[in-house]
Every structure is written in structure tokens, then in C-alpha cells.
Structure 1
Amino acid sequence: MAFRFNFSIDESENYEPDTQDKTDLQLCSPKHKQEPTEKSKQTAESVADSSPRLGTDKQRDETPSKKKFCFKAAKEHDIPEDLNKILENKVMETVSGLYYINVSVVEMTCLDGADGEGIVSKSVSSRSDLIPGVYEGGLKIWECTFDLIDYFSEAEIQFTNKTVLDLGCGAGLLGIVALRGGAEKVHFQDYNSTVIDEITLPNTVANCINEGNRMGSGDNRKISKPPSKRPKKADCLPDVLAKCRFFSGEWSEVSQLLLSSNKPFSKYDIILTSETIYNPDYYSVLHDTLAQLLDKNGRVYLASKVHYFGVGGGIHLFEKFVVERNVFRTSIVKIIDEGLQRCIMEMAFKDSS
């Protein structure tokens, strides 16, 4: 398994260059020092790290604000009838018993003009894995995703017959694990439509058509033997894929789309989200989205680094924000001390059972 280390700098007008702090799986999960050195801050291009998430005002380390949030319109993405076309020219990899698309190949294709949003070219030209309001890091798989997948198994989280939202899904691995665990419905959301079309949908299709006998069986354990990297051909839409819906756009816009849609919609029993609290400016809209979409007795499972250097966000700042809102109760259910400290948080409504 090859690891690629990537440090990025955001050169947006309103942001100061700084270090980025999300671990990139392309595949990824490097071990990090607890604190970046001054030298590493000055030579960001040659050092490894990850999460969206880069530079911004140092004042953001103090309190979350509501400024500079971009309201990207929401869109639902239909599942194409020809599933084989979705996987055409895709290179498959496997991790934790799941298929995922090799992102480097996708990036090369998008640079040739297949990316309608232009996020790949903008990311390359700015040398950044995060361009606020343009690209929010969904092309890469960040290490807290695997922390959360491990926690599902350790805590024996049950997805059977549950409605699940993978919020800020990126590759969609959390939602795919929920599908494999027998979820009744799984919805995927990412900020960028390119991520949904080029990464999330192909990953979901690949897992559905290659592991059809396993998907939906209620088995969300890791498998010891990786699946074949050669995707099978799909003769028809797998039943498990019919459980899925895919959305792009900013959180509040997607929430509005779901709540106002003519299609039947029930609130989610489980919302899964990983490394989405890197930017304190987003806390208000994230909190409100969770409050609007979670069932009254539902649970949120959120994975995060303790602190995102340069951006100012982190688990304790978000927890403080949630406590002040007095809508949810929170609990840190797991702490990962390996490398840069990370946490799993469970959230539920204060008046829930």
C-alpha cells in the first residue's frame, strides 16, 4: 500500500498561507507529531500532513464566526442506468475490505477537461487541498474516516434497517460500510458535484456490484481477504444501490432540498461525518443541518482531529459550540493517541431516549 504525503497551501485572497492538517490516504494515515515545528510551517511544500485545511486568520482559533460561508446550490445526482460506464477507465484499489477509485487517475482525467467545476485544476494550480467555497477536500480520503470505520466494529454499531446520511462524504466509505451493515437507506452528500460524480458514485457502484452478496447482509466487519481489484460488469441495478441517493452542494442548501422535496423523506437515524469541523466558520450551518435532519432519537457519529493547525477548528472547539447551543448532548466515545490526537464524538438530542 503506497502512502503519499501532501502539504498544501491555500492562496485565497482572504486566507494567510499556513500548514494544512488532514492526513491524505491516497492511501494515507501517516503518523504525525503532536505539534508542527516552526521549520515545517516555513517549508510547507516539502512536509507531509492533512485535513481540509489550511491557512486562515489566527483569530479563528478563538471563536467560530458566521462569515465567509458560501451557499453552493444543492443538486441531486441520478444514478446512471449504465453502471458499467461509471466504472469505465477507473482503476480500483481496496482498503479495509472496500473498493475505492484511484484518485490520481481521476485527477489526470479531470485535468483533461472532464471536471465541470474545475476543482482539480484549481487545486493543482493553487497547490492546495482546500479552496474555501470552491473545493472542500472531497477528492481525498482522510485518516479519521478509518478511525470511524474501526469504531463501528469495536462498538458494534448497528446499521440494520437504519436510514443513514454520510455528510461530507468524499469517497463515501462511511456510507458504503453502512450499506454493508444492512442500512435501509443511505444518502451521500459532498460539497462538490465533481466528487459525487467521479468518486462517490463510482465507489458505491463498485462495492455494490462486486460485493452484492455481502452488501445489505448486516455484516459491517472488516474482511480479511481483499476483493478483486477488477470490477465486475453490472447486468442490472443492484437492489442495494436502489437504497442510495446522492447530493452535492452546501449543507443548508441540501437540507432545504431534502425537506422541501416531493420525494418521500424521513429524518436520519444515523448521521456519519468525518473531518468536517476543521473550519470554525462552518460550525453554525453544520450544527443547524444536523438539528434539521437527525431523527429525534437519532445519533451523530463525528470523527475529527483534536486541532487543525492553521485553520483553528477542532473537536474541543466544536464541542464547546454545541454545548452553548444547548440542542445536543455530546460524548467523546474514543480517543486515538497515535500520531496527531484524534477523537470520535457521539451526539444526540438532549431530550432523546
Structure 2
Amino acid sequence: MPFQFNFSIEENAENELETLGDTALQLGSAQGSLNADGSTEKSKEVSAERVVHQESLCAGEATPKTADPVANHSPDKSQFQVLPKEQACFKVAKEHSIPEDVSKVLENKVIEVVQGLYYVNISVVEMNLTDGSHEEDIVSKSISSHSDLITGIYEGGLKIWECTFDLIDYLSETEIQFINKTVLDLGCGAGLLGILALKGKAEKVHFQDYNSTVIDEITLPNVVANCGGGGGDDGGISEPPSKRQKKTDFIPALMSKCRFFSGEWTEFSQLMLSSNKSLSKYDLILTSETIYNPEYYSALHDTVSKLLNKNGRIYLASKVHYFGVGGGVHIFEKFIEERNVFRTRTVKVIDEGLARYIIEMAFKSSI
């Protein structure tokens, strides 16, 4: 059952942040938890999709051209109606500060649970943003444009795309180690991949999305909801009380582990490399459904090549092809091969309808 957060952080929040990984995250199979009846629906060029509470994730959103707006399925990023570049303004990167009272980021948010993780009900967030009060106004623009992508304006971060769950499954199945690692959730959206790393005792996790609205209204609240209390001692999820006592020590604990950024990838990498704060390059970069548009490949390649540790790894989840945009696994791998900086390896294929891939990338010079 969904419930609403409107509380301050409890006394033991800092300890909970430090011990997030003490108990196993109950991930299981995304297909099992999200589509319990095993049912699927297909259109001619749309992959079988997973049930992820469509009423909360997608209600009221502009959908891809072939999507059924009332179907109980997760969004399918294989087909897009992408608007042209007119009026596109690529966003300068910036770091988002964590509010002094972190409980405020959960006010008026309805919290639900998927695969053992808290996430904010996105349709409620969207309803609160339709008045155009936020400077980006991406919800109204998306609705009026009937598009999930508006180049240079909105890049789809208000949805949880199905390949995210593929990558969560893979990281769980293979027991990828996050302990003491520095992790970047690139194109993070809801931030579920980075939250998974936090639960795995990562030393630091940074979250990046194109849109500042996504960071403020989706990513940061999700991190606070998962890291600020509510987890049971057995690693399960328990409904938190309606009010909790504020714990000011939680702020430096959260800030020591997490940083949040918005903006275009090239701008983001420049910000990180020019920052006064010491930058430890990332041991792991996690990214899902970010290679849909070949026009972004150069920026993505240059960003990860500058920010990845020399022995680091990138785990990328993608569909084999994105209709209407032209990107996909094979064209991206060809691009990577031509650049001759990274080696790629397909580590998992989900062959359901339109195939989905998990790709591992590493520097060719790495051991």
C-alpha cells in the first residue's frame, strides 16, 4: 500500500546509512516481482514490458507513440516521438545541495515500494509540477508535446525505464561488489541503481541526470527515503511512522556519501574535473537506456573516459534498437570500437520481444 511521508529523520538515521548493506537487498527477479501473473503484451515493434505500477509511474505522462496509456506496464523506451532541436538549450551542469532539513524533500510525496526499494509516486510529483512553477516546466512541455523526449529540454528522467530493472537483476545475480567503491549513476532518473550501490556499502555514490527537476523531485527524495530510515532490521521494508524525530547528524552522513548533479554530460564532466573538491574517479559507472540517441554518443564517451578509474568498469543496459531515434546496442558498440578506447563485452541478453542487453565496458589499457 502506498503511504505518505511527512516526517523528520529519526535518531538512528546516521547509523542506518552506515549499515545499509548489512542485510541483503531482496531483489529477486524483476520479472517475478513486477509481473506476478506472468502476462505480457506486445505490439509490432514494442518489447514485452514489465509491470511497475503503471498507475503510479506513468499516469498522466506523455507516452511513446505506441504505448497504451492505461496498460499496466512499465514504459518502453524502444520507440520515441522526439521533437526537433528548435529551442533546445543544452543545460549547464550544476551540483544540487542537500537541504539542511532533509525531511522536507519528502513532504507531499507518496512513497511506494518496488523490488525492496522506496520510490516516490511519479504521477503525484507530476501533478504538483503541472502548474509550471518549476523553472524547467518539463511536465507541461512533455504533455503539450506528446513526447517523452524533447532534445535539449527533457530527456525522459521522470520515468523508470525497463532496462533499469534488467541491470538491477544482473548486478544482484552476479553479486557485483560495491563495498568501498566510488560509483556514478549516470542519467540516473529515479536513482535506483545508485541506491542499490548505497545498499551495497559503496563508499561514495554520485547521481547525475540531465534535468534539475528530476534530481530535486525524484532522485533526492528516493535517496532520502531509502537511506533515511524505514528499513527493518531484517533488511525488509517496514512502513515508517507518520512522524520521526529530526536527526541533524544525518546531513553530514548523507553528504559524505552522496552528491547530486544535473546538466548535459560534457558540462558535467567539466564541472567535476574543475571542482575545488577532490575528485576520485569512479570505480563503477552504472547507466540505463542512455544510448537511444547517437547524437549523444560523443558526449557520453568523452564523459566516461574522463571520469572512470583506469581499472574501473561501466555497466550499461540498453535495448537492441530505439525506433524513431536510431540508437541502440550495435550502433553504440560500433562507435566504441571506432574510438578504440574501451573494450565491450555482452554479459547478458534478455531475449523477450525486442532484445535487451547488459554491456560491460572497460579501458583497453586496463589489466
Three-state SS of the structure 2 residue aligned to 1:324 is helix
Q: 2:100 aligns with which of 69, 74, 81?
A: 81
* Cα distance in 2 for residues equivalent to 1:119 and 1:348: 34
TM alignment of 1:97-246, pairs within 5 A: 97-211=116-230, 225-228=236-239, 233=244, 234-238=246-250, 239-240=253-254, 242-246=256-260
Instruction: Sort the Cα spacing of 1:229 and 1:273 in 2 relative to 1 into closer, same or farther, 3 A.
Output: farther
Distance 1:306 1:206 in 2: 33
The one of 285, 289, 294 equivalent to 1:271 is: 285
Counterpart residue type for residue 239 of structure 2: S
Question: TM-score, normalization: structure 2?
Answer: 0.77
- CA deviation after TM superposition for structure 1 residue 51, in Å: 1.8
Q: Take 1:90 and 1:262, find their aligned partners in 2: how far apart are those partners?
A: 34
Q: CA deviation at 1:84?
A: 1.3
Contact 1:334 1:344 in 2 (8 A): yes
Letter of the structure 1 residue corresponding to residue 248 of structure 2:
C
Following superposition, the deviation at residue 236 of structure 1 comes to: 2.5
Alpha-carbon RMSD across the aligned residues, in angstroms, is 2.9
**Residue 235 of structure 1: how far off its partner (Å):** 2.0
- 1:231 to 1:145, Cα distance in 2 relative to 1, 3 A: farther
Of 25, 29, 45, the match for 1:36: 45
Q: Aligned partners of 1:230, 1:187: CA distance in 2, in Å?
A: 29
3-state DSSP of counterpart to 1:164:
strand
Identity percentage over the alignment?
66
1:208 and 1:241 in contact (8 A); partners too: no
Name the CA shift for 1:331/1:171 in 2 (closer, same or farther; >3 Å). Answer: same
Distance apart, 1:35 and its partner CA: 4.3
* CA distance in 1 between partners of 2:354 and 2:289 (Å): 13
Q: Aligned residues, how many?
A: 309
> Contact 2:178 / 2:202 at 8 angstroms: preserved in 1?
yes
What is aligned with 2:336? 322
Matches of 2:310 and 2:231, distance apart in 1: 32
Query: Unmatched 5+ residue regions in structure 2?
Result: 3-30, 47-63
Q: TM-score, normalising length from structure 1?
A: 0.80
| CA-CA distance at 1:339 after TM superposition | 3.4
Equivalence for 2:269? 255
2:188 maps to a residue whose letter is C
Q: Distance in 2 between matches of 1:72 and 1:172?
A: 20
C-alpha displacement at 1:264, in angstroms?
1.0
Q: CA deviation at 1:332?
A: 0.3
Partners of 1:231 and 1:86 lie apart in 2 by: 15
For the 8 Å contact 1:129–1:136, the answer to whether it is kept is yes
